[in-house]
Structure 1
Amino acid sequence: MTTLTESDQWQTLESLAQLVGQEHMRNWFASDQTRAATMNAEACGLFVDFSKNRVTDDTLKALFDLADARGVAAHRDAMFNGETINQTEGRAVLHTALRNFSGKPVMVDGEDVMPEVLATLEKIEAFTQLIHSGEHKGYTGKAIKHVVAIGIGGSFLGPKIMTEALKPYQQNAVKVHFVANVDGCHITDVLSGLDHEDTLIVMSSKSFSTQETLQNTLTAKDWFLKSGGTQTDIAKHFVAVSSNVKAATEFGIAEENIFPMWDWVGGRYSLWSAIGLPISLALGFKNFKSLLDGAYAMDEHFKTAPNEKNLPVILAMLGIWYRNFFGAQSHVLLPYYHYLRGLPAYVQQLDMESNGKMVTQSGDAINYETGPIIWGSEGTNGQHSFHQLIHQGHGVIPIDFLMPLNVPNQNDTHHAMLASNCFGQAQALMQGKTFEDCYADLADKGLEDDERARLAQHKTMPGNKPSNTILFEKLDPYTLGALVAMYEHKVFVQGVIWQVNSFDQWGVELGKVLGNQVLAGIQGEAEVETFDSSTQQLINRFKQANAPK
């Protein structure tokens, strides 16, 4: 196979980018009344209008040709079939197996993993029922009323953001609190308002040794013991999601309350596994299962839909178009729904940890751009801050607008205003406002011509800013599952095009190792002189500030 940038498809796209770069979307809309009707796709409760992109039919065809030529379909099938596509760690990539309800086996190294996956789901359901019914009691006989979910990275972001997004579906049986930051302020604030007698701690760490998660769990244990519990009582108040059964049981957790994790599930893809136990506890198992159902539906769509109707493929290839042919450095997510405000942070980890890579699968240095910066905020807040940069700043910043058509417990005026802002921003970014229009608007302001022209220059907005608008009837668990899976598969497709391993994260690992070494220096277990001069200086200043007074 030829290198990516030397391929015929890439060369075609470079030529098309030169042509398209001279065109304006507002002219396309003016000349083609069918553009919006043809440039959209719908699946799994999601409607994607991608007509406000700087693409023509020829552009889309060339992008899909590139996807075919780089073997997206073959790589997709290899992932779903349990092949070892995470080659740097020698692992399969099977978060899709966690929501596989086809009844078909999924083989890894000759073994069907589905029996254990389904057994774990049953265990989550049974435990959720024990907590919600009050049958599982604390050591003093009180029912559990509060759950503190401790994790970091994907073990924290997924459960927290999904639970927040589905707030209208939260159950009254328990209240779930999330802790990730090793900054002691967080765990202290959460625990200070709780009664240890009716609190359950859920610790999520595959190794049971993740630094931040373990320290927060040890702090929770210390709080529990100082409040009156004993080491024996820990079994009723602590559970773990971990593959290190030995460490968990030595901590005091009952073996029956240890939920498994597997090497073939990466942290940022793990909310579908027992990492999602806090989601089940917050929403009820039925809603957690519906979340999985939506993701499974998107998996089936991704596997079967043709490119021109395939939501993950469409979004992925549009991202390739802007990143590699228009120099876009970032991509913005703008959810126009308060409960979905955490989605940009979730996709930020999913995308940037997956495709922020500098070498190909074969280890060759990459000479083209890969993963973009992912950022965003909820609408309409961003309109009064960073939207200014998108409207009048230099460069291309593609945007995903997301909005439910219906929301619970909200009057029509609020939601109509929200929708009008969402649609209006997308329209403004596409069409902009010409100098001539701005100059005409100032006709009755009593200005001299020079001043009128000067102000018109400041008011001019170029438009031609690309965006997708993603609509859904309502944000229920099924739809959210489909939405998250869509972004997972989008990231996967882009990783295939860029020839990177989207499932390792060595850049994360180095920081962990060095952080542990620095901690040893701070705690006097390593010679400070072994560090570089800057780190020595920082360690010494920290030790001086915290020395006994």
Structure 2
Amino acid sequence: MTKLTQSPAWQALSQLSGNLPHMRTLFADNPKRFEQLSLKKCDLFLDYSKNRLTDEVLQQLFALAKDAGLKQKITAMFNGDIINTTEKRAVLHTALRAAADADIRVDGVNVVPEVQATLAKMEQFVADVHEGRWLGYTGKAITDVVSIGIGGSFLGPKIASEALRPYWNGAVKCHYVANVDATSIAEKLKLVAPETTLFLTSSKSFGTQETLTNTLSAKAWFLAHGGTQQDVAKHFAAITSNVAKATDFGIDETNIFPMWDWVGGRYSLWSAIGLPIALLIGMDNFRELLAGAREMDQHFATAPLNENMPVIMGMLSLWYNNFFNAQSHVVLTYDHYLRGLPAYFQQLDMESNGKSAKMDGSQVDYSTGPVIWGGEGTNGQHAYHQLLHQGTALIPADFIMPLQSHNPLGEHHIQLASNCFGQTQALMQGRTFDEAMAELKDSKLSDADKALIAKHKEMAGNKPSNTILMDKLTPKTLGALIALYEHRTLVQGTIWDINSFDQWGVELGKTLGNDVLARLAADSDCDGLDASSNGLINAFKKGCI
């Protein structure tokens, strides 16, 4: 057993987890439960009353957070201390949305002026494109942008762009490419014309294999369709820290935006990585996105643990993971524009907290990093919600919904809301055998058949969920929502004593992938690896099975 699992709070929670009333009873015993277990901050409303919670459970969860030094960790992050210890880096995505007059230092240097300078450069870039001053090699204005990246450099901007479609200004269209599968970029290139297309490459090293391969293919396509090497500067821009490599490629240095070591890829959409977002919605709206995140930052940094939205959500997820063996957590978005959000939170959480080594290098002896998954309501109700209601696994759920639709049409939104709220109610209360029998009392079935069907209609309920509401999906509320999940991730990683800001598992895959690539390109058969890898490589080289 470790210090964490031996702590009084952990031991108390272990005892409490097996001695809780059904949520039906908790609601029946306390008519004010909703008022007491809900919170409004940063234009978001969190109802966490439909959880397996009592006052004593909450007290022990907050005691666990206090014992783990959560407040100190939060302060250290905002101060620019090196909390990514394996890579010796500060973790300062919060500086990307900090106030212009903030003083946030890395190695004694205030990084905020450089962030603000980059935002100003982005603003000029966006204005030049929107107002037709950025011209392609034939003198035509840019109509399409192809954003090339991978991981956080791709997923964050893509999902945020989808979510904010009501705010697109129509100046340009944006297309995203990440997969190294040639089909991905080939299909995108069919949609654009070389003389009016601008390519944005996002790669810190300007050497990430997938991103560089796609960028080289984009350049080859451009050169094959009338562009010249000299024209590359008019059609390619980059977000990178490797200025020399980008300029060698042909990108004008004035069209290169910085990346910093103290920003991880999955936390980077607030930086110049977010240029595609800004190009679609304009810089004013992009700054609103930053403002929403900044408000959540301020809340996270200053609110007491028991009134802190990211802390509450992080501790609840940990409660089910560590004390109820909940191996996954589902995110359900009741807004079509937010349909991609579960995938973004999946990367954010699983790349951050999918760890088994503690900060000191020793192995954990408790569960970390649940599988994050989900989808769009109401589609999931006709698929995997069956598992949520009657499956054997406990799967905590987050329901996310705006109260106002960008597309009010007939009864659509009220039906959407009824489904959202009805699902949380059904998960909480379930259906007893007697209730199922009562529903069947007027049927013509025999008593034996009624009893049989009632057993199949019975649901235990007591399935936990959070509901997050906002008045309307705007750049500001989206910024707050994404920052909420960013900070929720830190909360869990702190309690588990793991580094939420490295990704050595990802790095291993890259390293081995490069080795396999060399073997695939070799003339001789592969025989230097395990039998399975040898066989797969040789089958690929033959081109048939």
Aligning the two structures, in what range does the TM-score lie when normalised by the shorter sequence? over 0.9
Which TM-score applies when normalising by structure 1?
Answer: 0.98
Distance 2:497 2:322 in 1: 14
Distance 1:449 1:172 in 2: 63
Query: 1:346 aligned to 344, 348, 359, which one?
Result: 344
Measured after TM superposition, the shift of residue 2 of structure 1 is 7.2
| Residue 16 of structure 2 corresponds to residue 16 of structure 1 | yes
Counterpart position of 1:426: 424
Distance 2:278 2:268 in 1: 14
Counterpart position of 1:495: 493
Measured after TM superposition, the shift of residue 64 of structure 1 is 0.8
Q: Which AA in structure 2 matches 1:321?
A: W
Query: 1:363 aligned to 361, 379, 388, which one?
Result: 361
Measured after TM superposition, the shift of residue 527 of structure 1 is 6.6
1:376-525 equivalent positions in 2, closer than 5 A: 376-524=374-522
Question: SS of the residue aligned with 2:19?
Answer: helix
Residues 526 and 138 of structure 1, relative CA distance in 2, 3 Å threshold: farther
Task: After superposition, give the CA deviation of every residue in 1:359-415 in whole Å (9 maximum; x if it has no partner).
Answer: 100001100000100000000000000000000011210000000000112224100
Identity among equivalent pairs (%): 59
- Structure 1 stretches (4+) deviating beyond 6 angstroms? none
Question: SS of the residue aligned with 1:287?
Answer: helix
How many residue pairs get aligned? The number is 545
Distance 1:394 1:130 in 2: 56
Q: Which AA in structure 2 matches 1:14?
A: S
Higher mean C-alpha deviation, range 443-452 or range 76-85 = 443-452
Distance 1:379 1:506 in 2: 34
Distance 2:285 2:142 in 1: 20
Measured after TM superposition, the shift of residue 16 of structure 1 is 1.1
Distance 1:327 1:264 in 2: 34
Distance 1:264 1:531 in 2: 36
Measured after TM superposition, the shift of residue 87 of structure 1 is 0.4
Measured after TM superposition, the shift of residue 305 of structure 1 is 1.1
Question: SS of the residue aligned with 1:522?
Answer: helix
Higher mean C-alpha deviation, range 436-445 or range 166-175 = 436-445
Measured after TM superposition, the shift of residue 104 of structure 1 is 2.1
Equivalent residues of 2:42, 2:480 under 8 A apart: yes
Question: SS of the residue aligned with 1:19?
Answer: coil
Counterpart position of 2:6: 6
Measured after TM superposition, the shift of residue 435 of structure 1 is 0.3
Distance 2:389 2:447 in 1: 25
Measured after TM superposition, the shift of residue 447 of structure 1 is 2.0
Distance 1:453 1:234 in 2: 73
Q: Which AA in structure 1 matches 2:374?
A: G
Equivalent residues of 2:2, 2:365 under 8 A apart: no
1:121-200 equivalent positions in 2, closer than 5 A: 121-200=119-198
Aligned CA-pair RMSD: 1.3
Measured after TM superposition, the shift of residue 448 of structure 1 is 2.0
Counterpart position of 1:66: 64
Distance 2:206 2:329 in 1: 35
Distance 1:162 1:441 in 2: 44
Counterpart position of 1:261: 259
1:46-57 equivalent positions in 2, closer than 5 A: 46-57=44-55
Distance 2:119 2:325 in 1: 44
Question: SS of the residue aligned with 2:411?
Answer: helix
Measured after TM superposition, the shift of residue 546 of structure 1 is 7.2
Measured after TM superposition, the shift of residue 505 of structure 1 is 0.2
Counterpart position of 2:325: 327
Measured after TM superposition, the shift of residue 457 of structure 1 is 0.3
Distance 2:406 2:335 in 1: 11
Q: Which AA in structure 1 matches 2:255?
A: N
Q: Which AA in structure 1 matches 2:186?
A: T
Distance 2:372 2:192 in 1: 36
Equivalent residues of 2:50, 2:466 under 8 A apart: yes
Q: Which AA in structure 2 matches 1:61?
A: Q
Counterpart position of 1:117: 115
Equivalent residues of 1:270, 1:276 under 8 A apart: yes
Counterpart position of 1:243: 241
Q: Which AA in structure 1 matches 2:30?
A: D
Q: Which AA in structure 1 matches 2:59?
A: K
Counterpart position of 2:270: 272
Distance 2:345 2:89 in 1: 23
Counterpart position of 1:202: 200
Equivalent residues of 2:100, 2:116 under 8 A apart: no
Measured after TM superposition, the shift of residue 462 of structure 1 is 0.8
Task: After superposition, give the CA deviation of every residue in 1:5-37 in whole Å (9 maximum; x if it has no partner).
Answer: 0011111111111211xx210111122110011
Which TM-score applies when normalising by structure 2?
Answer: 0.99
Distance 1:263 1:304 in 2: 26
Question: SS of the residue aligned with 1:530?
Answer: coil
Measured after TM superposition, the shift of residue 158 of structure 1 is 0.4
Task: After superposition, give the CA deviation of every residue in 1:288-329 in whole Å (9 maximum; x if it has no partner).
Answer: 111001000000000111122210000001011100011100
Where do 5+ consecutive residues of structure 2 fail to align? none
Equivalent residues of 1:170, 1:283 under 8 A apart: yes
Measured after TM superposition, the shift of residue 67 of structure 1 is 0.8
Distance 1:525 1:499 in 2: 47
Equivalent residues of 1:520, 1:526 under 8 A apart: no
Measured after TM superposition, the shift of residue 533 of structure 1 is 1.4
Equivalent residues of 2:100, 2:112 under 8 A apart: no
Distance 1:161 1:319 in 2: 23
1:537-548 equivalent positions in 2, closer than 5 A: 537-545=535-543
Residues 192 and 499 of structure 1, relative CA distance in 2, 3 Å threshold: same
Question: SS of the residue aligned with 1:529?
Answer: coil
Equivalent residues of 1:397, 1:465 under 8 A apart: yes
Measured after TM superposition, the shift of residue 526 of structure 1 is 8.0
Equivalent residues of 2:525, 2:538 under 8 A apart: no
